[in-house]
Amino acid sequence: MSQNQEIPENILCTKTHEYVIVEGNTATIGITQYAAEQLGEIVYVELSDIDTKIPKGDSFGTVESVKAASEVYMPISGKIIEVNERLTSEPELINEDSYNLGWLIKVEGEFPPEALEEMMSMDDYLAFIED
């Protein structure tokens, strides 16, 4: 169902299958290709509003497949500065290109190395889902 997508550099993944790409004070957050495959065809996405501050570990939205709804959790604390509006009409972008066109939100915050410590590199993540 999913193609081989381009995987951005500096991507970090969580055990709950979110990813984060940090660039200075902003970070792009989405769900991993594996998560999208497990959910199946995504048909609806509901995301928190712009300007909401959400602490690490809290839910920032819901990704729904035909069969079920799954919450998505903040891998880091931050304030939402952008949500991916294209997903309203094209939620399937998450299945097709989760790391690029299928991103969910962009947040602003302080992301010192300690905040990213628990996250895995893509190689470690791929090994983690193999287990």
Partner 1 sequence: METENCKKTALYEKHLKRKAKMVCFAGWNMPLQYDKITTEHITVREKAGIFDVSHMGEFTIKGKSALDFLQKLVPQDISKMKEGKAVYTQLCNPSGGIIDDLIIYRLQDENNTYNFLLIVNAANTAKDFDWIIANQDDTRNATVNDVTDKYSLIALQGPEAATILNSAGIEFGNHPKKFYLIETTLRDFKCIIARTGYTGEDGFEILIKNQYAPQIWDLLTEKGEPCGLTPIGLAARDTLRLEAALPLHGNDIDEDTTPIEAGLEWSVKLDKPHYIGKEVLQKQINEGTDKIFIGFKMLTPNIPRKGCELFQEGRIIGNTTSGSIAPYLNCSIGMGYIDKSASIKPGDRIEVLIRNKKYPAEIVKRPFYKSEKR
Which residues are near partner 1 by CB under 8 A?
Answer: 1, 40-41, 43-44, 46, 62, 64, 66-69
- For residue 55, the minimal CB distance to partner 1 (Å) is 18
CA distance 125 to 91: 24
Q: Which CB atom, from 1 or from 123, has the smaller least distance to partner 1?
A: 1
Question: Minimum Å distance from CB 45 to partner 1?
Answer: 10
C-beta of 21 vs 43, nearer to partner 1? 43
Neighbours of 47 (CB within 10 A): 20
- In the complex with partner 1, which residue's Cβ is closer, 102 or 109? 102
CA-based angle 114:8:42, to the nearest 5? Answer: 100
Give the Cα separation of 112 and 118 in Å (integer).
Answer: 12
